[in-house]
Chains A and B, each alone.
Chain A
Amino acid sequence: MESSRKLKNLSRTEISEEIKKQSLISNFGKLYLYLVETFGYPRKTQKNIGKREGQEVQLNFMALKNKFNPSGAILVMLSKTKLNLQLGSSENAKALIKFQMDEDEILPTICEIIKMKANCWGLLKIILKFIIPGKIRFKGSLFAAMRATLLMMVGKHPMYKKSNINPQFIQNIN
């Protein structure tokens, strides 16, 4: 089997670590899709994909590199109707977004981005908070990267007006 070959000569503990990293990337992809489909309201952001339709944007989680996925990558295929995600890297990716932070900083960073509003002010916040300090880096088409990021930002959803986010970061994490 393919995975058996990749994991040859590793102990069970090492295998477990490798596969856990891969599952974190994979789980992030699922949550990204879930968020866009459930809260991507109004779907304006998705409709605005326009000529970016079909383009691939690669997200690289540098801290989650593993034997299954040496670049820690997940691909977002931009679409107005059906957003598609796939594990692994691509040579055709129009843009690359690199998450350069440590493993335990990834989740808080993504949560911050999710809560932002999908507009120019939101993008400016990302630049100030994450790009200038070097936590996130872009490569390739800036507009394609922007589209993929904007999809994740659901801060405009009316639910944010109604109630608050639990201020305490739950104890179960890490």
Chain B
Amino acid sequence: MVKNRIIPYEILLESCKQTLGLVEYSIPEEELIPMRHFMNALIHYLEDCINKAENGWPVIGHHFAFPSEIFYFFDVVPIVVEGVSYMLSGLLTEGAEPYYDAIEFRGHPYHTCSAQKATLGLTLEDYFKFDVICTSSGPCDNSIASYPIFRHIQKGQLLDFKVIDMPYWRDKRSCDFFGEELVNLRDELAIILGQEPDEEKFRKAIEVENKSLQLIKELNEIKKAVPCPVESMNVPFNAASIIFFSGRFERIPYLEALISHAKKNYKKGIKPNGEEKLRTIWPNMTLFFDIGYSEQLDREKGISTLFDIFNYVFYDPINLNQDINDIIKDLSVQCMDYPMIRQSQSTADRMIEDMLYLCREYKVDACIFTNHIACKNLQPIIQLLREALREELGISLLSVDVDVGDKRYASKESIAKEIDSFVSTLY
């Protein structure tokens, strides 16, 4: 049996341990709360995945917006392709750049998404040995185009490559169709992996996800308070927790710790990092190559970051008192409303309506849109969103051209300069 099949998870584990150690041992207890709890949760998750992979469990690479709860029917190790790329970007000096370069050197276009590029590079370098790759035909053309490359670059056999079809429309017919796709996938995986689907484990994963969902909503409610009692740093870590911990219990203690800390701050009426001068939402993503940037904005300039695209959820928990296939169909409805899928794989109205709702509810002063090089599907929305926010709420929007996972495209300094100029026009 091949050993060390998920070397990038081992790299992440070592980096997370060192990061947590440094924070715990040198920074006072009341500081960097989201980072401490997230690193703790991630270490647990990574150790579990590495142990299972070493014990011979099949390794499945999947898209972050794929309903990974479906994998809990089986004894498998689900690896989040996008999570690896962006965690490496956030934790290492040179980020995931050597792996972007590796796959680009092979001819992969530079303007595709860095979220997949690093994992493609890592697979090309033989650091990942996947058994199956699963993705859906969403949320964007980039991921649809990038995933099939795994079939050609992996050294050694890939058992199967699965794409489930996600329709563009969000009506009952589409949801039923996508639900059928998920049921078929479960049946096909059972044959490929030679395992019987275990309904209990799947139900447990959905139960855990339901609990997480309630906690996310609770945390988001707390963020309505002015000043925001949650550190801005929670935004990139919440995004990562949504990406990594679908159907896993690690997200629960992480969110509970954040909520408890936020409630304490709320009762005292304080904002963790000083005065709040400006409340912002980042309608796309925050910078993953510098996970501390939102914290620095918060501490130095009093700019709170309340949400990015991954931080708010517009779907409800799944009813577990029904037939297993109906639960899967409900999961498909949820999946079609996942963060980023909801805004990217549909008409522009959704993004605009969501932002108007959030800006109104959360008393937002400004929006900062990271125009990620690969999010070509969102680029035409920027001007529409800017006009809608200005006309309906009198809020300004700044668009910054970036690659959220690659600092070479737009450096933090150039981004900071644009934000500074923008902010100076608001006071």
Does chain A have a CB within 8 A of B127? yes
B25 and chain A: residue at smallest CB distance: A111
Which residue of B14, B29, B299 contacts A163 across the interface (Cβ within 8 Å)? B29
Which residue of B17, B91, B102 contacts A172 across the interface (Cβ within 8 Å)? B17
- Which stretch of B92-100, B255-263, B334-342 is in the interface? B92-100
Contact call B94/A107, Cβ cutoff below 8 A: no
Given known contacts A26-B94, A85-B93, A162-B30, A19 and B25 CB-to-CB distance under 8 angstroms:
no
Residues of A within 8 A of B105 (CB): 1
Does chain A have a CB within 8 A of B21? yes
Contact call B22/A86, Cβ cutoff below 8 A: no
A68 and chain B: residue at smallest CB distance: B98
We find that the number of chain B residues with CB closer than 8 angstroms to chain A is 41
Residues of A within 8 A of B94 (CB): 26, 86-87
A114 to B24 alpha-carbon distance, docked (Å): 12
Residues of B within 8 A of A165 (CB): 24-29
Contact call A164/B28, Cβ cutoff below 8 A: yes
Interface residues in A156-174 by Cβ distance below 8 A to B read: 159-160, 162-166, 169-170, 172-174
A124 to B401 alpha-carbon distance, docked (Å): 46
Residues of A within 8 A of B93 (CB): 25-27, 29-30, 33, 74, 85-87
Does chain A have a CB within 8 A of B145? no
Contact call A38/B17, Cβ cutoff below 8 A: no
> From DSSP, what is the main secondary structure of chain B's interface residues?
helix
Size class of the A contact interface (CB-based, 8 Å): 35 or more
CB distance from B224 to the nearest CB of A (A): 26
Does chain B have a CB within 8 A of A44? no
Does chain A have a CB within 8 A of B420? no
A82 to B30 alpha-carbon distance, docked (Å): 28
Does chain B have a CB within 8 A of A108? yes
Contact call A12/B21, Cβ cutoff below 8 A: no
CB distance from B206 to the nearest CB of A (A): 29
Contact call A173/B28, Cβ cutoff below 8 A: no
Interface residues in A17-61 by Cβ distance below 8 A to B read: 19-20, 23-31, 33-34, 37-39
Residues of A within 8 A of B15 (CB): 23-24, 26-27
Does chain B have a CB within 8 A of A16? yes
Which residue of A30, A38, A114 contacts B296 across the interface (Cβ within 8 Å)? A38
Against A, the Cβ 8 Å flags (1 = close, 0 = not) of B295-333 are 110010000000000000000000000000000000000
Interface residues in A126-147 by Cβ distance below 8 A to B read: none
A88 to B336 alpha-carbon distance, docked (Å): 45
Residues of A within 8 A of B27 (CB): 39, 114, 159, 165
- Which stretch of B2-10, B210-218, B354-362, B375-383 is in the interface? B2-10
B47 and chain A: residue at smallest CB distance: A172
Contact call A163/B17, Cβ cutoff below 8 A: no
Which residue of A28, A37, A74 contacts B18 across the interface (Cβ within 8 Å)? A28
B6 and chain A: residue at smallest CB distance: A16
Contact call A111/B21, Cβ cutoff below 8 A: yes
Contact call A160/B28, Cβ cutoff below 8 A: yes
Residues of B within 8 A of A23 (CB): 11, 14-15, 92
Given known contacts A20-B10, A33-B93, A166-B29, A27 and B292 CB-to-CB distance under 8 angstroms:
no
Does chain A have a CB within 8 A of B43? yes
Residues of B within 8 A of A15 (CB): 4, 7, 127
Contact call B125/A3, Cβ cutoff below 8 A: yes
Contact call A26/B92, Cβ cutoff below 8 A: yes
A161 and chain B: residue at smallest CB distance: B28
20 contacts between A and B (CB under 8 A): A1-B124, A4-B125, A16-B7, A19-B11, A23-B15, A27-B14, A27-B92, A29-B92, A29-B93, A30-B92, A31-B19, A38-B295, A81-B413, A86-B93, A111-B21, A162-B30, A165-B27, A173-B17, A173-B24, A174-B17
